[in-house]
């Protein structure tokens, strides 16, 4: 019996595994993967640029939602040079609706740097690639192992779940200090295998068979080796620490009309939704009416005095750490010239037809559809 002990901060994981089981795990997993994996376009290539784009998109977004974006993005920017030479607004437009726009901004900046520093050739060593904007440990491990077959473990939520069940790891999967434990465990299993295909296979197992609810243990290629399955503890693993309650913010914004045109403003590049366009407004303060908040917010952020004509709609959306409820009002410009004092660095008075040229957060698309059906006279 081989005992693997892993210490990460205050967590200690002791994993019992026989060496022959490690070999068996990789062999059975990879055989299963070759026959059964989903045919996804980024798996049928070893082009590092395609793999990089897919991995950036797949962070925070599901495979099904990524597929159409991936195809369109590569049609528009078929290689790194084209991406590096594009305007940020065009890149954000291709990303529009997928959310987490910092991913697109960083990918664009990183492409520019690769063009400048490495003549457009994506570096195949950890230090140089990891040094690029938006390239964290996860992206670096994924691209270097999938495209260059380098021995870096890719440990996402799916992989952690497989490992937690396979080894009965008690470290909570949603605590950052646990990552070291899961990486060590994955590294042990990966050793006898080709890194790229091993990583793909264990991710696929977690995504399709070792699912969070109702895992398909009956069709799992490593069932006979799995500790949770053998000890009937599958439902107990993985361990999670309870989630914190996510705060909710109330916003009030205005579709401001002046001579048949609408005011839109662009958020500053850095920060949340950076580089995207929006309708001006502000958070609703405690005990404030949303209509008052809308008028006040517009005055404070874009220096216009407006009157509210009507309520248009309420939209709701979530970010990782908070939720937003946004009330949208139709407003009439009364007086004042635009001066940007808030989160935006540029503005336009646009027509309802032209508004679609600008990249907006997905939640605002409902407002844009409603604006197009509005009477402006």
Give the span between the Cα atoms of 104 and 363, in whole angstroms. Answer: 18
Q: Which stretch binds ligand SF4 (CB under 6 A): 7-15, 28-36, 44-52, 223-231?
A: 223-231
Compute how many residues bind ligand SF4; rule: CB under 6 A: 14
> Residue 315 and residue 95: Cα distance in Å, rounded?
20
Q: Which is nearer to ligand SF4, 209 or 265 (CB)?
A: 209
Yes or no: say if 282 and 357 are a contact pair by the CB < 8 Å rule.
Answer: no
Site for ligand SF4 contains 226 (CB under 6 A): yes
Site for ligand SF4 contains 88 (CB under 6 A): no
The residue (of 18 and 300) whose beta carbon lies closer to ligand SF4 is 18
- Using CB under 6 A as the binding rule, the residues of this chain from 116 to 175 that contact ligand SF4 are 162, 165-166
Two tokens at 342?
């808030």
CB of 211 to ligand SF4, least distance (A): 8
Tell me which of 13, 92, 207, 220 binds ligand SF4, using CB under 6 A: 220
Nearest to 308 by CA among 341, 335, 333: 333
Do the Cβ atoms of 89 and 109 come closer than 8 Å? no
Q: Which of 44, 55, 248, 286 is catalytic?
A: 55
User: Does 55 participate in catalysis according to the annotation?
Assistant: yes
Q: The tokens of 120 are what?
A: 């457009």
Closer residue to ligand SF4 in complex, CB, 123/221: 221
Contact 173, 13 (CB under 8 A): no
- For 365, the token pair is 């698309």
Residue 234 binds to ligand SF4 (criterion: CB under 6 A): yes
The minimum distance between CB 172 and ligand SF4, in angstroms, equals 17
Question: In terms of DSSP bridges, do strands 281-283 and 305-318 run parallel, antiparallel, or are they unpaired?
Answer: unpaired
* Residue found by looking up tokens 């009002």 in the block: 329
Q: Round the CA-based radius of gyration of the chain to a whole number and report it.
A: 25
Nearer to ligand SF4, 65 or 217 (CB): 217
Q: How many residues does the chain have?
A: 377
92, 98, 209, 371: which one binds ligand SF4 (CB under 6 A): 209
* DSSP category for residue 265: E
Q: Please tell me whether residue 208 binds ligand SF4 under the rule CB under 6 A.
A: no
Q: How far apart are CA 107 and CA 315, in angstroms?
A: 29
228 binds ligand SF4 (CB under 6 A): yes
26 binds ligand SF4 (CB under 6 A): no
Biggest alpha carbon distance in the chain?
81
Among 30, 139, 229, 256, contact with ligand SF4 (rule: CB under 6 A): 229
Q: Kindly list the catalytic residues.
A: 55
Interface positions with ligand SF4 (CB under 6 A): 162, 165-166, 209-210, 215, 217, 220, 222-223, 226, 228-229, 234
């Amino acid at each position: 019996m081989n005992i693997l002990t892993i210490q990460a901060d205050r967590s200690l994981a002791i994993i019992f595994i026989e060496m022959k089981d490690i070999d068996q795990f990789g062999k059975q997993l990879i055989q299963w993967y070759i026959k059964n994996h989903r045919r996804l376009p980024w798996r049928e290539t070893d082009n590092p640029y395609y793999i990089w784009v897919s991995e950036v998109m797949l962070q925070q977004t599901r495979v099904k939602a990524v597929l159409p974006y991936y195809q369109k993005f590569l049609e528009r920017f078929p290689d790194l040079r084209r991406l590096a030479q594009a305007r940020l607004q065009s890149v954000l437009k291709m990303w529009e609706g997928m959310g987490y726009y910092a991913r697109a901004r960083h990918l664009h900046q990183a492409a520019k740097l690769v063009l400048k520093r490495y003549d457009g050739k994506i570096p195949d060593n950890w230090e140089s690639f990891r040094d690029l904007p938006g390239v964290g440990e996860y992206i670096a491990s994924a691209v270097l192992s999938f495209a260059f077959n380098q021995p870096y473990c890719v440990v996402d939520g799916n992989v952690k779940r497989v490992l937690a069940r396979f080894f009965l790891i008690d470290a909570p999967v949603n605590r950052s200090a646990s990552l070291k434990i899961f990486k060590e465990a994955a590294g042990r299993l990966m050793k006898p295998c080709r890194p790229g295909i091993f990583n793909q296979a264990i991710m696929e197992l977690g995504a399709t068979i070792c699912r969070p609810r109702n895992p398909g243990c009956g069709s799992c290629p490593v069932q006979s080796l799995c500790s949770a399955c053998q000890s009937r503890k599958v439902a107990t693993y993985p361990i999670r620490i309870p989630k914190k309650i996510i705060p909710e913010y109330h916003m009030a914004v205005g579709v401001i009309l002046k001579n048949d045109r609408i005011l839109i403003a662009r958020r500053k590049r850095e920060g949340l939704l950076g580089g995207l366009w929006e309708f001006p407004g502000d958070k609703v303060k405690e005990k404030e009416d949303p209509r008052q908040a809308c008028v006040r917010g517009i005055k404070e952020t874009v220096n216009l005095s407006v009157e509210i004509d009507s309520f248009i709609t309420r939209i709701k959306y979530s970010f990782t750490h908070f939720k937003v409820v946004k009330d949208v009002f139709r407003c009439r410009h009364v007086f004042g010239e635009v001066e940007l004092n808030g989160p935006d660095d540029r503005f336009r008075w646009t027509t309802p037809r032209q508004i679609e040229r600008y990249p907006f957060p997905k939640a605002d698309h409902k407002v844009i559809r409603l604006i197009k059906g509005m009477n402006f006279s």
